[in-house]
Chain A
Amino acid sequence: MPTETLKSLGDIAATNSWGAIYPELILGCLALALLALEVILPKFAHGAIPRISILGQVLLLGYIIIFDPAGCCNGIAFGGMIELSGTSQALRIFFLLASIFVSYLAMVSFENKTLARVEYFAITLVVTGALSIMAMSNHFVMLFVALETATVGFYILVSYFRQNTLSLEAGLKYLIMGALSSAILLFGIVLLYGAASNPAMAGSSLDSMNFQNLRVFLEANPTDTLSILGMLLVISGVAFKIGAFPFQIWIPDVYQGAPVSTTAFLAVSSKAAGFAVLLTLTKVFSPLSDWLLPLLSGIAALTILFGNFAALTQRNLKRMIGLSGVSHAGFLLVGVVAVQTVPEATNWVLFYLFAYLLGSMAVFCVLAHLPKEWDADLSLDDLGDLAKKNGFLGIALAIGIGSLAGIPPLAGFIGKFLIFVAAFKAELYVLLGVGIVGVVISIYYYFGVIKAAFFEVWSFTDEDEKSDAPAVLPGQSLTALGRLAIVFAVGGSIVLGFFQGPLGSWLSGQ
């Protein structure tokens, strides 16, 4: 008996292909190296640490894009814990790109604050690695551990401005909501595990938390009550993370209070990871699609409508972006529902995510350069005459917002267009209609932002209220690195709109 156990352990160990997860290992090592550098380097050189972090990530991203764009070792590894595929490779590139922008945003917004800084960059790297592993997980244990590594990191990142009450309050709200959603997800996993490991049922397996084994079980028992309940709880837990209706209540508060870099991280990476998990799980739960598809379709429609209507009345910029992000989650959910009948739409959902990344990052880079002590208070009034004061930031904001709104020549338009094509092919006509209504409503509040930035704003501030301090113009902290980041995000939004060139065959699913 012991030799048998040893042999099976040996078989599992033989599938530990460490080379397959080299980007995540490098991210982890880079995070530790940053902490070590803080101890080694003299105090005046500490400013270089964020730059080292960004440089390391850019080199890693460059290596992956040039030498390993399709993923070196696709397949199942680590004894069924992870499954690497083209999708997980694309998401890996996505998370790295987002994390570079987040590190840059953090560098800008921490500039004139007295805070411990290095930890922020180290935690960003660890969270990015965890999100990337989450996107490739093939087992509920791996999924839960990666999810929690990311979530606990996010608790810290949200409440990072600990002199600021708003940041701490946002941290506490995210903590309670995040822990609640993790517990719901975990209970769903428990029920699924219990149902699928029951030796009295057909298709049961001792390792029933493995996605392949679970799918075999669900195919054999598509009407099992316990598994349907577990599936509902797991989907609810994931819906919390992506901010889908009715689990979006935490979004405006947390997005407003968190530092702008963390808001960007939550809006882009955390949401994308949620969708990666959802894409994997919908495949596992496909035998239960009689329950799953109506549920997801309903959530998608309500999410689009709620996000857009709630964003209409917002004056606070970060709350507005957060709620518009809720409606983007709705569009992505439409894509996920369509993927069930039109498999090539997976890559279209990924394209939408990349377009959303570039548009959002352009907007967040502009927000980070507006002069305001705490960015939780940024409102539409702070954009007053941005275009006149700093034309570069004004144009960047207009293109970023335009791409998010889906204005024709930009990347966001192609993203929405592909999602609508997918919905049409999958014959989801109601969702298609709701999506189009959502786009029309969203144009109203997105253009409110552009109007505030480009046209004269009548403000009734008393002369007495004006402080004597010299006015700080937007964009004074803009460095060459910042211009490069903004040009990349804006340029990407334009280029991907006109020309999908090398992505063309990928988009058509070949």
Chain B
Amino acid sequence: MTVGLEHYIALSASLFAIGFFGVLLRKNTLVIYMCLELMLNACNLGLIAFSRYHGGMSGSIFVFFTITVAAAEVAVGLAIIVALFRKRQTVQVPDLNALKN
């Protein structure tokens, strides 16, 4: 069996779905954050696969931008999570319910 474009896209779509449902279903903020990163990486895999099999360069170049963006998001996101943990001693989503009407 040769590995073709559709296998890469199927893998990318499954990774994206795993990440998406992880964000919706998991309770720990850090795990949710990992799931978000998984979704971005699934996108990267899709971009690379399309770029490689269709012969254009723009997809491969876009990946550099998304990696940079993901790094910036992690830097800011972890800072917010750490600051919140210092205040509340928890990063479990069900405990973060101070905002209400």
Show the binding face of A for B, using Cβ within 8 Å: 140-141, 144-145, 148, 152, 155-156, 159, 162, 165-166, 168-173, 175-176, 179-180, 182-184, 186-187, 189-191, 193-194, 197-199, 204, 206-209, 252-253, 256-257, 313-316, 319, 376
Contacts and interface: CB of A to CB of B under 8 A. Distances in A.
B9 interface: yes
B56 A257 contact: no
B58 A209 contact: yes
A169 B43 contact: no
Contacts of B20: 180, 183-184
Contacts of B72: 148, 152
B13 to A, nearest CB: 8
Contacts of A198: 54
B91 to A, nearest CB: 8
Residue picked from A173, A184, A197, A207, most chain B C-beta under 10 Å: A197
19 contacts: A148-B73, A155-B76, A155-B77, A165-B84, A169-B84, A172-B29, A173-B96, A176-B36, A179-B36, A183-B43, A187-B42, A190-B46, A191-B46, A194-B49, A206-B56, A206-B58, A207-B56, A208-B56, A315-B101
Given A172-B96, A208-B56, A253-B99, A194 B84 contact: no
Nearest to A207: B58
Contact of B58 (A144, A166, A184, A208): A208
A166 B99 contact: yes
Given A184-B39, A199-B55, 11 more contacts: A144-B65, A144-B66, A165-B88, A169-B99, A172-B84, A173-B96, A187-B43, A190-B47, A191-B46, A206-B57, A208-B58
A169 B43 CA distance: 28
Interface residues of B, number: 44
Nearest to A163: B87
Interface in B38-68: 39-40, 42-43, 46-47, 49-51, 54-59, 61-62, 65-66
Q: Is the interface of A mostly helix, strand, loop or mixed?
A: helix
Contacts of A315: 101
B83 to A, nearest CB: 5
A263 B88 CA distance: 23
A183 B20 CA distance: 9
Interface of B: 9, 12, 16, 19-20, 23, 29, 32-33, 36, 39-40, 42-43, 46-47, 49-51, 54-59, 61-62, 65-66, 69, 72-73, 76-77, 80-81, 83-84, 87-88, 96, 98-99, 101
B99 A256 contact: yes
A183 B40 contact: yes
Contact of B81 (A162, A172, A182): A172
A464 B47 CA distance: 65
Given A162-B83, A207-B58, A313 B101 contact: yes
Given A148-B69, A152-B73, A172-B84, A166 B55 contact: no
Contacts of B40: 182-183, 186
B77 A175 contact: yes
Nearest to A226: B9
B56 A194 contact: no
A414 B83 CA distance: 45
Nearest to B74: A179
A209 B51 CA distance: 12
Given A169-B96, A172-B96, A314 B101 contact: yes
A244 B46 CA distance: 28
Given A148-B69, A187-B43, A190-B46, A197 B59 contact: yes
The 9 closest A-B CB pairs, nearest first, are A183-B39, A194-B50, A206-B56, A190-B46, A197-B54, A253-B99, A168-B84, A148-B69, A186-B43
Contacts of B101: 252, 313-316, 319
A171 B62 CA distance: 28
Contacts of B61: 141
Nearest to B72: A152
Contacts of A207: 56, 58
B73 A190 contact: no
A209 B62 contact: yes
A311 to B, nearest CB: 11
B69 A156 contact: no
